[in-house]
Amino acid sequence: MQNDISSTILRSALAEWRADLENADIRPHSESTGLSGALVWRVTHGGMSLCLKRWPKGYPSPAELSSMHDLLQHVTRSGIRIVPVPLITSEGRSILHIDDFLWELTPWLPGEPYNRNKPNSRRSDAAMRCLAQFHLAASSLTTPSVGLSPGLFSRREILRDLLCGQLDNLQEAVFDKPPSELRSLAGEILIQVQRRLPTVLDDIEESANLPLSLQWCIRDVKCDHILFMGEQVTGLIDFGAAAIDSVVGDVARLAGSMIVGGCPEWGPAVKAYSEVRPLSTDERRVMDCYDRGGTVASAANWLRWIFEENRFISESQAVHQQMIWLRDRLQAL
């Protein structure tokens, strides 16, 4: 889709930040399994390497993206140097509006994503420590508060809908498609979701009303958003879902993306996080609910996106790998 956007538009956008960027080398970057619909280009010029991003129409809103930029600037001032702080345009803005789309330009962070197919305990521990450092820095952006977790409420609503008929709709959508390896995987996932749904929902119903510390969180942090050079974290990227929530959602999301076995096998990763930012008794108590509820909800979302909404037709290999991962995670719950 990047190729559908003319070089003239891209160079005109870049000129809003710096006039000499009109002559930069611009190359599209393919995001493997991203769901946001954002388009990314790598821009190189005069020894600089930058990331030009066009967010999808309508999400995030200008206010949400501005808040995300405030968060990145805040944690950077607090000493976190591995996040993509947006550059400011010649008119003093961090956001560019072109044809109802929002654009941003940030440094291109070095490194390679954590590869969940090649587990590395030193890298996973480093990723968890990095997340804890981010949380500590982000905690001072707003006044500390205690309340109910939006993340747990979101998981609860998805699971309730599944139990009230959405699961039947998904099953019909899946088996309405011609036989294929992807449909076979979806069938396995449906069986696992059906088996685990009642128990997981009961646990979330019990935990969703537990007051937790709330602050700015990433909310979509996963292993391929953590960049490494060797065993050192060099980048923490993709803040499009950032909002106020409990840090436990981030801990569960990141650990779950790196470690197939689920919460019972997270001991070293959680220990690495807690050595930097200690977790309370209540936070530890709901961690399993975040993971199990999030895994079931994620599986249902992917089935809907693929079989009801017909997304990702051009991303078959990436989608196939994601479905295998979800099947294995569900089996490990």
Tens digit of each residue's pLDDT (9 = 90 or more) over 89-101? 999 999 999 988 9
Tell me the pTM. 0.93
Examine the pLDDT at 32 and tell me if it is beyond 50.
no
CB neighbours of 306 closer than 8 A, spacing ≥ 6? 182, 186, 312, 319, 323
Q: How far apart are CA 309 and CA 288, in angstroms?
A: 30
pLDDT band (50, 70, 90) for residue 331: very high
Examine the pLDDT at 3 and tell me if it is beyond 60.
no
Contact 39, 53 (CB under 8 A): yes
**Which is higher by pLDDT, 44 or 3?**
44
CB neighbours of 246 closer than 8 A, spacing ≥ 6? 149, 151, 152, 212, 213, 214, 217, 283, 286
CA-CA-CA-CA torsion for 201, 296, 222, 257, nearest 10 degrees?
A: 110
Q: How far is CA 35 from the centre of its chain?
A: 9
Q: Which helix (H) or strand (E) holds 106?
A: strand 101-107
Burial class from Cβ neighbours inside 10 Å (0-12, 13-18, 19+) for residue 284 reads middle
Contact 255, 162 (CB under 8 A): no
Structural domains present in the chain: 2-108 (3.30.200.20), 121-332 (3.90.1200.10)
Within 10 Å of residue 8's Cβ, how many Cβ atoms? 9
Look at residue 171 in the predicted model and tell me its pLDDT: 97
Burial class from Cβ neighbours inside 10 Å (0-12, 13-18, 19+) for residue 310 reads exposed
Tens digit of each residue's pLDDT (9 = 90 or more) over 142-187? 998 999 999 999 999 999 999 999 999 999 999 999 999 999 999 9
The DSSP bridge pattern shows strands 96-98 and 101-107 to be: antiparallel
